[in-house]
């Protein structure tokens, strides 16, 4: 790489404005050199752009040789740097559609640009060639049934255990049974008796964010050893 020859002097010098908050609030958070290079390049590019709102597209960054040479011409590094910059609050972004393609566009993170991004996402703000991409819905994977969950985490199903699980299924919410099996695994008490005792306690004492309304200071498996059937889960 050719050594930098120094800054020009006199009337030929051009400057880019950098907010003081960059040095006091943002710079202390940045430890990645690629992120720093990318943010500074975007600031310089947006400073000379005309019109409003001012933003830069991912494709523009990819096509800039000075930036890309400084990050080993790595698209992966660029994406990582941009994610860090958004996470640190230097930039705000929106995924857009245009010409059948999707790409991210980036704005400096200030109050005005945050409003712009929200308006683009909602469709309130229309800009030529830019349309916010529709969010892809995330479908939650269905939970395994209680019989599969028991076999995967506790042990082999027998006709008697299957009958007890069916009885529990008729008495308690499915989420309770899933959580009770997890509790049994957590405390290494892998038995249908222990799971049933947990469910009985929850039905009597209630649940609040996974805790118990009574005896909340009791922790670990001992909290299930109380009551009429406490002796059954000790074995």
Run of H or E including 199 = helix 192-205
**Rounded CA separation 12/39 (Å):** 24
**Cα–Cα distance, 109 to 43 (Å, whole number):** 11
DSSP letter (8 states) at residue 139 = P
Please tell me the predicted confidence (pLDDT) of residue 231: 44
Note the residue count of the chain.
Answer: 235
Which domains does the chain show, CATH number per domain? 13-132 (1.10.10.10), 146-233 (1.10.10)
Please report which confidence band the pLDDT of residue 234 belongs to, taking 50, 70 and 90 as the band edges: very low
Say yes or no to pLDDT of 210 above 70: no
**pLDDT tens-digit map of 21-79:** 999 999 999 999 999 999 999 999 999 888 888 999 999 999 999 899 999 999 999 99
Neighbouring C-alpha atoms within 13 Å toward the C-beta of 88: 21
Q: Nearest CA to 16 among 34, 53, 41?
A: 41
| Residue 1 pLDDT level (bands cut at 50, 70, 90) | low
For residue 56, what pLDDT is reported?
93
Give the residue-averaged pLDDT of 125-132.
67
User: Residue 207: is its pLDDT beyond 90?
Assistant: no
Comparing 182 with 216, the larger pLDDT belongs to 182
Measured between alpha carbons, how far is 196 from 165 in angstroms, rounded to an integer?
9
């Amino acid at each position: 790489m050719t050594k930098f020859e120094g800054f020009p002097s006199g009337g030929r010098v051009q400057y880019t404005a950098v907010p003081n908050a960059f040095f006091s609030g943002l710079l202390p958070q940045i430890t990645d050199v690629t992120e720093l290079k990318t943010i500074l390049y975007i600031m310089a590019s947006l400073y000379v752009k005309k019109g409003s709102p001012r933003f830069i597209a991912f494709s523009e960054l990819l096509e800039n040789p000075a930036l890309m040479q400084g990050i080993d011409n790595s698209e992966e590094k660029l994406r990582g740097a941009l994610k860090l910059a958004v996470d640190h609050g230097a930039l705000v972004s929106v995924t857009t559609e245009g010409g059948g393609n999707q790409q991210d566009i980036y704005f400096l993170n200030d109050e005005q640009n945050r409003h712009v991004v929200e308006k683009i996402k909602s469709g309130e703000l229309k800009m030529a060639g830019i349309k916010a991409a529709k969010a892809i819905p995330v479908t939650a994977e269905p939970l395994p049934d209680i019989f599969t969950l028991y076999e995967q985490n506790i042990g082999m199903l027998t006709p008697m255990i299957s009958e007890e699980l069916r009885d529990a299924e008729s008495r308690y919410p499915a989420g309770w049974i899933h959580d009770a099996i997890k509790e049994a695994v957590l405390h290494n008490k892998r038995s249908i008796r222990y799971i049933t005792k947990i469910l009985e306690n929850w039905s009597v004492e209630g649940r609040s964010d996974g805790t118990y309304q009574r005896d909340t200071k009791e922790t670990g498996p001992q909290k299930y050893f109380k009551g009429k059937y406490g002796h059954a889960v000790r074995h």
